[in-house]
């Protein structure tokens, strides 16, 4: 079910995949939106109920004036308050992964567990990819064909407009968000105190193996690493393995 709420002056949209399970908040990466987590929600049901946010500038949520780190974290805090939930596990991919671990670091009492998918504690975001995406196309099939091998990763973000098919994000806003994502976030990563699963794609061009292992080492005893046969978008390249890793991690949490 799609719903919305107001955070500051922004209207933010989210998908509650429903069911009787325990809530799990999910945050997508750049060029994507909440609906990308539909397969994961199905795989984790009925034990877990996935609630995924269209983050600012993405999907059905409003475009914003600012895409700084504090903006995204504040949105998650507002989202969590709107849902009226106690401490919950949070999961995030790429952009959403940094947002998730920064929220866990800065609002420790609200997060019972963290799953970060293929993103590091130091980020050098490549925004040039967004500027190279093909423009509007007359049909969904034509746009997917123009995207080529990238199409499966952006499938959830394709939209029909009056003048053809495009994306549920704006390129210029995506570039600004990418630029604001870059930086050294070690202090936040090291400040997280809840049980943590870091998922890395073995063919990832974003999260190097050495960096992932250093992230685990700096949080010895609190964090574990799962490396799966995938690229950067693990939940698309290896959906079954990703869901299994998440399910196993969640099942081993204390007092759950």
CA-to-CA distance for 230 and 236, rounded, in angstroms? Answer: 8
| The pLDDT value given to residue 235 | 98
Give the residue extent of every domain in the chain: 2-122+171-251
Looking at CATH, the fold of the domain delimited by 2-122+171-251 is given as: Rossmann fold (3.40.50)
Q: What is the pLDDT of residues 159-189, one digit of tens each?
A: 999 999 999 999 999 999 999 999 999 999 9
pLDDT exceeds cutoff 60 at 256: no
Beta bridge partner(s), residue 10: 7
| The pLDDT value given to residue 191 | 97
Burial code (b: 16+ CB inside 10 Å, e: under 16) for 16-53 equals bbebeebbbbbbbbbbbbbbbbeebbebbeeebbbbbb
pTM: 0.96
pLDDT exceeds cutoff 80 at 56: yes
**Residue 158 CB burial class (10 angstroms; 0-12, 13-18, ≥19):** middle
The total number of residues shown for the chain amounts to 256
pLDDT exceeds cutoff 90 at 65: yes
The mean pLDDT of 221-228, rounded to a whole number, is 96
pLDDT exceeds cutoff 80 at 238: yes
* Confidence class for position 129, pLDDT limits 50, 70, 90: confident
| The pLDDT value given to residue 255 | 64
Token pair belonging to 5: 């709420």
| The pLDDT value given to residue 130 | 87
């Amino acid at each position: 079910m799609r719903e919305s709420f107001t955070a500051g002056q922004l209207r933010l949209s989210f998908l509650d995949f429903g069911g009787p399970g325990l809530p799990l908040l999910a945050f997508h990466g750049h060029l994507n939106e909440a609906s990308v987590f539909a397969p994961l929600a199905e795989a984790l049901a009925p034990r877990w109920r996935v609630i995924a946010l269209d983050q600012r500038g993405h999907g059905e949520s409003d475009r914003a004036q600012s895409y700084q780190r504090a903006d995204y974290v504040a949105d998650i805090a507002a989202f969590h308050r709107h849902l009226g939930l106690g401490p919950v596990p949070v999961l995030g991919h790429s952009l959403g992964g940094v947002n998730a671990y920064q929220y866990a670091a800065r609002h420790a009492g609200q997060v019972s567990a963290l799953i970060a998918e293929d993103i590091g504690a130091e980020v050098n975001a490549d925004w040039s990819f967004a500027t190279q995406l093909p423009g509007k196309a007359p049909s969904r099939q034509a746009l997917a064909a123009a995207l080529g091998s990238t199409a499966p990763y952006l499938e959830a973000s394709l939209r029909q407009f009056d003048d053809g098919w495009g994306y549920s994000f704006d390129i210029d806003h995506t570039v600004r968000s990418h630029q604001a994502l870059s930086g050294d976030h070690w202090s936040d990563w090291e400040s997280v105190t809840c049980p943590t699963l870091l998922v890395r794609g073995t063919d990832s061009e974003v999260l190097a193996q050495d960096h992932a292992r250093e992230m685990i080492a700096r949080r010895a005893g609190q964090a574990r690493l799962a490396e799966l046969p995938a690229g950067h978008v693990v939940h698309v390249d290896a959906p079954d393995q990703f869901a299994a890793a998440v399910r196993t991690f969640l099942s081993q949490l204390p007092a759950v």
